[in-house]
Amino acid sequence: MQILDGKLAAQHTKDTLKKEVDEIIAAGKRAPHLAAILVGNNGASETYVASKVKNCTEIGFASTLIRLGEDSSEATLLQEIEKLNNDDAVDGILVQLPLPKHISEQKVTESVNPLKDVDGFHPISAGKLVLGLPTFISATPYGIMLLLEHYNIPTRGKHAVVIGRSNIVGRPMSILLSSNHPHGNCTVTLCHSHTQNLKELCQRADILVAALGKPEFVTADMVKEGAVVIDVGITRVPDSTAKRGYVIKGDVAFNGVAPKTSFITPVPGGVGLMTIAGLLKNTLQAYRTRQQ
């Protein structure tokens, strides 16, 4: 069993990006710029957005964090997005999800200029992904592809099972793994809450991606000997004995599952960090496209 170390692979991506930024600056150009909007005060979202901003700084990107109160109207948020759409000095726009219930996530996603859609959530970006056209790939599936690439994990002809059909992870992941890509060409089974015989399907997976958001859902009896297991789950579970009052759990029961696998991602320290790497790569791509 080998750990797929998201920290290591993300650092590799960031080192490469930093070199590219250094060259851009040396050529007398402005730095790539990511703008993030955070609405309300969801604890996990605060952590993730802070980490995104910190990572931008580390590699020499400019970043702007716009904070709006929990009670902000949808109209206010759409106005902020429009300002960023029209700001030539902004390359990438990210609106952290989830949004408060009174705001339509669909309306918000559709209002982001597709040229700046570094999350890859706009219908145009999602549509291009389905067609195999160059686009912004949403950060988590992109990060997972980068991780498979970093560790040179063979995927061609393998059976990949993805649990979860969300627009931001499961669905795009299933498309990428099935696509004609150096780390695609899998036969993909996409499972969800209505799937029958989930356990049997998982047992047949060479590559198992758990993205359903249920802590420790995948147990050892569901995993084939030698499988590659990618854990996308990240849930804060209250724990009074923990320093912060919670522990972070993935969708995979790591201790039981890990010994059966050939490769497995830990939580934390796996996919989450690669998500940020994917986002940064998208931002540089947005910058380059917009400079042309």
Ligand X SMILES: Nc1nc(=O)c2c([nH]1)NC[C@@H]1CN(c3ccc(C(=O)N[C@@H](CCC(=O)O)C(=O)O)cc3)C=[N+]21
Is 268 one of the binding residues for ligand X (CB under 6 A)?
yes
Contact residue for ligand X among 72, 155, 174, 275 (CB under 6 A): 275
Tell the smallest beta-carbon distance from residue 37 to ligand X (Å). 9
Q: Which of 5, 91, 117, 119 is catalytic?
A: 119
Is 120 one of the binding residues for ligand X (CB under 6 A)?
no
Annotated binding site: 164-166, 234
Query: Between residues 114 and 268, which has the closer beta carbon with respect to ligand X?
Result: 268
Contact residue for ligand X among 93, 190, 234, 252 (CB under 6 A): 234
Strand pairing class (235-238; 246-249): antiparallel
Query: Between residues 51 and 195, which has the closer beta carbon with respect to ligand X?
Result: 51
Q: Which stretch binds ligand X (CB under 6 A): 90-98, 144-152, 217-225, 251-259?
A: 90-98
Buried b (16+ CB within 10 A) or exposed e, 41-68: ebeebeebbeebbebbeebbbbbbbbeb
- The Cα–Cα gap between 149 and 176 comes to 13
Residues 129-158, interacting with ligand X (CB under 6 A): 139
Residue the block writes with tokens 């050529």: 27
Tell the smallest beta-carbon distance from residue 6 to ligand X (Å). 7
The CA angle 211-272-104, to the nearest 5 degrees, is: 65
Q: Which two tokens mark 134?
A: 């160059």
Query: Between residues 186 and 264, which has the closer beta carbon with respect to ligand X?
Result: 264
Contact residue for ligand X among 13, 96, 135, 155 (CB under 6 A): 96
Is 48 one of the binding residues for ligand X (CB under 6 A)?
yes
Is 276 one of the binding residues for ligand X (CB under 6 A)?
yes
- The Cα–Cα gap between 257 and 56 comes to 34
Distances in whole angstroms, Cα of residue 36 to Cα of each of 84, 117, 174: 10, 11, 27
- The Cα–Cα gap between 26 and 36 comes to 26
Q: Which two tokens mark 269?
A: 């320290």
Query: Between residues 46 and 149, which has the closer beta carbon with respect to ligand X?
Result: 46
52 assigned to active site = yes
Is 118 one of the binding residues for ligand X (CB under 6 A)?
no
Is 247 one of the binding residues for ligand X (CB under 6 A)?
no
Is 51 one of the binding residues for ligand X (CB under 6 A)?
yes
Contacts of 283 (CB under 8 A, 6+ apart): 32, 33, 34, 56, 61, 91, 92, 118
119 assigned to active site = yes
Residue pair 99/126 in contact by the 8 Å Cβ criterion: no
Is 47 one of the binding residues for ligand X (CB under 6 A)?
yes
- Active-site residue set: 52, 96, 119
